[in-house]
Amino acid sequence: MFTLPPRPAKGFAATAARAGRSVFGMLVNWRRRRRNRLAVKQLLGWNEYMLKDIGLTRADVRCALREHRKVEASGRLRILAVERRATNRAMARAKLSIVTIDGRQTGQSLGTAASTCDA
């Protein structure tokens, strides 16, 4: 048997409820972004070795904090870390592909990794 889905409520009460949920959702998101930004800011107190352990540099942390407040700073850090790992893997592969055969070099080497964040 086919049943129709319930119709959304209409009127002022329904509109007010949707607006309330929207404002509440915005406040929850703002609080989460603020909490994450403060956690990222604490990374500036870490030394270079600790940051390197988690795949970041001090420049990555500063770059993430320079983003607009609507951008999730921790998400930006995750992207920068993934980009760095991918670049490091590509550079390692390129170094392995440079093999001399009969005195000639084969393969191409990659330059330094380009950052997506302006220094």
**How confident is the prediction for the chain on average, in pLDDT?**
80
**Cα 70 from Cα 30, distance rounded (Å):** 8
Q: What is the pTM of this model?
A: 0.60
Contact 46, 62 (CB under 8 A): no
The rounded distance, in Å, linking the Cα atoms of 80 and 56 is: 8
For 104, the 3-state DSSP assignment is strand
pLDDT in tens, 55-103: 899 999 999 999 888 888 989 999 999 998 899 889 888 888 765 555 5
pLDDT (mean) for 27-50: 92
Q: What is the mean pLDDT of residues 95-114?
A: 58
How many other C-beta atoms are found inside a 10 Å radius of the C-beta of residue 36? 17
For residue 109, the model assigns a pLDDT of 47
Q: DSSP of 74-90, one letter per residue?
A: HHHHHHHHHHHHHHHHH
- pLDDT above 60 for 114: no
